[in-house]
Chain A
Amino acid sequence: MKIWTSEHTFNHSWETVAQAAWRKYPNPMNPAVIGTDVVERKVVDGVLHTHRLVSSKWYFPKWAQAILGTAKVCYASEKSTVDPKERQMTLKTINLTFCRHISVDEVLYYTPHPTDPSKTLLKQEATVTVEGVPLSRYMEDLLTSKISVNAGKGRQGLEWVIAKLNTEISSQVKGIAESAARSTDGLLSHTKKSLDDMTESARKSMDDLSATASKHIHI
């Protein structure tokens, strides 16, 4: 068994990171992840519990395929909790299809940074266990180094998503501004129309009045 840990600080609020975490995939840094599905989700005592199935495509060296099988799409089970009051998000992932000999368990903790709550601290842990196959220790090392690389990509991926979300928000703001401008246009044309109507009816009344007046004069 091999344990790998890491910490990373995001210069974004916990709320921003939590929103982005749900939208982490797709991102160009983690092309291996090809699908996510929510299998169960519920709110219990104000905490959101989610069970997701994450599908990813892994490429193993030829020799490893002999042991691990040629299955290229792997499925992982991800269970998570989000506590908005405590500002904590925890995701635990275990893989399902690496056959019984190998397990990779990963845990991610997102919390506000203890010294600067406007930032978010990510703590990451992975446990790699390879049992009952030749070169177990060697394969544990191999997988651990792969996790290390993937973890870096995961963080870059999340940063990419946050940047994308910020762009979306600014385009939403732009959308609101545009529709506000449209409403103003609407208001102006309505006002103009009302003025036209008023002028028209005023003119009509004047015509009527003068017609009546001239009638009286004639009499």
Chain B
Amino acid sequence: MNSIGEECTELKRQYDACFNNWFSEKFLKGQTDDSMCAPIFKVYQECVKKAMKAQNIEFKEIDGDYLKDEFKDTPPGKGS
């Protein structure tokens, strides 16, 4: 599976591998501390946000409607 930014695909691959492992081995077993993949996530996320900006993909315009449903707890389009 690719990332929207070609340059982020390798970071995504590494992050997904870390996450899948954390999800099965920690999270589903009741350990909710998510610091395990935090460093790689930070780098990957920065890459994706840059790629989204470059491709003019934004969540902002739809988040207005989106917020009417249950996802109020997630701040929309932060930092993009």
Contacts and interface: CB of A to CB of B under 8 A. Distances in A.
A49 B4 contact: no
Given A37-B4, A37-B8, A38-B45, A53 B52 contact: yes
A39 B30 contact: no
A48 B30 CA distance: 12
A77 B28 contact: no
B1 interface: yes
Nearest to B34: A43
Nearest to A27: B1
A96 B27 CA distance: 30
A19 B32 contact: no
A211 to B, nearest CB: 62
Contacts, number: 85
Contacts of B33: 43
B66 A35 contact: no
B27 to A, nearest CB: 6
A153 interface: no
Contacts of B70: 92
Interface bracket on B: 20 to 34
Interface string B25-42: 001101011100000010
Contact of B32 (A22, A33, A46, A55): A46
A178 to B, nearest CB: 20
A37 B49 CA distance: 10
Interface in B4-62: 4, 8, 12, 15, 19-20, 23-24, 27-28, 30, 32-34, 41, 44-45, 48-49, 52, 57, 59, 62
Interface residues of A, number: 34
B73 to A, nearest CB: 7
Contacts of B34: 41-43, 48
Contact of B27 (A25, A48, A53): A48
B43 to A, nearest CB: 12
A85 B29 CA distance: 9
A15 interface: yes
A94 interface: yes
B59 A77 contact: yes
Contacts of A94: 62, 66
A35 B24 contact: no
Nearest to B51: A37
Nearest to B2: A35
A9 B30 CA distance: 25
Interface of B: 1-4, 8, 12, 15, 19-20, 23-24, 27-28, 30, 32-34, 41, 44-45, 48-49, 52, 57, 59, 62, 66, 69-71, 73-74, 78, 80
7 contacts: A35-B4, A38-B44, A39-B80, A48-B23, A53-B52, A77-B59, A96-B62
